[in-house]
Amino acid sequence: MRIAIAGLGTVGAGVLQVVAKNGALIARRGGRPLEVVAVSARDRAKMRGTDLSDIAWFDDAAKMAAEANCDVVVELIGGAEGVARKVCEAALANGRHVVTANKALLAHHGTSLAAQAEAKGLTIAYEAAVAGGIPIIKSIREGLAANRIHRVYGILNGTCNYILTQMRKSGRAFGDVLADAQKLGYAEADPSFDVDGVDAAHKLAILAGVAFGTRIDFGAVHVEGIRRIGALDIQFAKELGYRIKLLGIAEIGDAGLMQRVHPCMVPLETPIAHVEDVYNAVVAEGDFVGRVVAEGRGAGAGPTASAVVADIVDIAHGRRPMTFQLPAGELAAPPRLTIADRRGGYYIRLDVVDRPGVIADVTAALRDEAVSLASMLQRGRAPDERVPVVLVTHETHEAAMARALDRIAKLGAVLDAPVVVRIETL
């Protein structure tokens, strides 16, 4: 099985090392040896821990995808457009299978790429694009093929999970823990894709397509990040019996499909509450199998390269599953449900001026939208100074909650925009 690799960063170098170290084992399991015959990257002089002297080098990755003497093109460049997209399209146009770890590309163009591959009798494999080393795509697409899956959710970004874990353990602020994550290499210099929820949203859109047999619809994903979560919120969550996790949640029903990424209060008794640091976890719920939980490292050279090579082994064996369970032309396009359609409980933290009548004004706004309070917490008294007040609601409608919060935010005694975390029973 002849392989061409586009992109020799952390994961690309990891693939080279996996093939070099475990080549004999992989050949026995795949039925034939894997041979890297061509590579392309920006810096030819960079040391990558593997001898590349006998491997064809291409400065132009798309040209490599079209012209290299290979069976499979592995795209590890990243990004929804530009070179990465050209590489995949060129590979498919010239009869090469594609293996990719590129969640952004698939979230934006997965359905069209799947159609292009099917027209040529080719495979697009992407286990590494979602949850790194966890074989969740194969588990859902093949292991749960007998089930109608109605919900899939999980911790899909290790950077955010690490930050929230360390905030809870240390009591430090978001910015301080983020800086540590950047020093350790868990967060990029520009962490916005991670901490603003975009990376998790890409992965959720792909998971939804696989789980439900629907067209990938990244534009329908509601996305919020973790920047506004404070150490105080994590402390209150503990008192209330929850942990805060950034979750991606996709649910399908008769009314349509809802996809959302946002911080959640999850009960301590749920397995996902105890997934810590850089680990990911994905939960799928099927009509016959019930709940299936998968946990593991969601990023890094080793886990991601492992998933890439596993896809290549499947291709070597001749396994050709549909990209998203069904032929691209048969993928459903269910009605979009928005975050406004959600029902559930809410945690609300307000910073208010401690004076008579403030709580009455807040509860009046909730009462007028038929939002019922389950509990309220206030720590200490500081007349005419800032104090935090925490409200926990019973299940209510998101649209009603949004109207009430808009009114509360305009109260003169409310000093900052409310911090809101949705409570998920899971």
One-letter amino acid for residue 128 of the chain: A
Mean pLDDT of the chain: 93
Nearest to residue 167, comparing CAs of 237, 65, 248?
A: 237
Q: Mind listing the domains of the chain with CATH numbers?
A: 2-129 (3.40.50.720), 136-299+330-339 (3.30.360.10), 342-423 (3.30.70.260)
Range scoring the smallest mean pLDDT among 11-20, 66-75, 344-353: 11-20
Range scoring the smallest mean pLDDT among 188-192, 225-229, 268-272: 188-192
The helix/strand/coil state of 327 is: coil
For position 32, what pLDDT does the model report? 87
The helix/strand/coil state of 306 is: helix
Q: Which long-range contacts (CB under 8 A, 24 or more apart) does 108-114 make?
A: 108/80, 108/81, 108/218, 109/80, 109/85, 110/206, 110/209, 110/216, 110/323, 110/324, 111/209, 111/215, 111/216, 111/324, 111/328, 111/331, 112/328, 113/88, 113/89, 113/323, 114/322, 114/323, 114/324, 114/328
Measured at the CA of 146, the angle between CA 145 and CA 152, to 5 degrees, comes to 60
Q: Where are the alpha helices (DSSP H) in 348-391?
A: 358-368
Report whether 342 contacts 332 (CB < 8 A). no
Among 169, 203, 245, 410, the one annotated catalytic? 203
For helices 231-240 and 158-170, angle between their N-to-C axes, nearest 10 degrees:
80
For position 186, what pLDDT does the model report? 86
Residue 257 or 386, more confident: 257
**pLDDT at residue 386 greater than cutoff 90:** no
Report whether 23 contacts 34 (CB < 8 A). yes
**pLDDT at residue 167 greater than cutoff 80:** yes
How many whole angstroms separate alpha carbon 267 and alpha carbon 286? 21
**pLDDT at residue 322 greater than cutoff 90:** no
The helix/strand/coil state of 153 is: strand
For position 247, what pLDDT does the model report? 98
For position 274, what pLDDT does the model report? 96
* Tokens encoding 174: 């978001």
DSSP 141: I
Range scoring the smallest mean pLDDT among 233-237, 315-319, 379-383: 379-383
Q: What is the pLDDT of residues 289-313, one digit of tens each?
A: 999 999 998 878 888 999 999 999 9
* Tokens encoding 227: 């920047």
**pLDDT at residue 381 greater than cutoff 70:** no
Cα–Cα separations (whole angstroms), residue 61 to 66, 89, 91, 214, 289: 9, 12, 10, 31, 43
Confidence of residue 185 (pLDDT cuts 50, 70, 90): confident
Confidence of residue 2 (pLDDT cuts 50, 70, 90): very high
Cα–Cα separations (whole angstroms), residue 54 to 36, 51, 107: 9, 8, 35
- What's the average model confidence in pLDDT over 383-403? 91
Residue 199 bridge partners (DSSP): none
Q: What is the pLDDT of residues 51-101, one digit of tens each?
A: 788 899 999 999 999 999 999 999 999 999 899 999 999 999 999 999 999
For position 169, what pLDDT does the model report? 95
How far does Cα 155 stand from its chain's mean position?
7
For position 320, what pLDDT does the model report? 80
For position 384, what pLDDT does the model report? 66
For position 214, what pLDDT does the model report? 95
Q: What is the pLDDT of residues 129-148, one digit of tens each?
A: 998 889 999 999 999 999 99
**pLDDT at residue 229 greater than cutoff 90:** yes
Range scoring the smallest mean pLDDT among 46-50, 107-111, 361-365: 46-50
Active site residue 203: yes
Q: What is the pLDDT of residues 108-134, one digit of tens each?
A: 999 999 999 999 999 999 999 998 889
For position 391, what pLDDT does the model report? 96
Report whether 285 contacts 291 (CB < 8 A). yes
Position of tokens 């309220």?
376
pTM of this prediction? 0.93
| Residue percentage of the chain with pLDDT more than 70 | 99
Confidence of residue 380 (pLDDT cuts 50, 70, 90): low
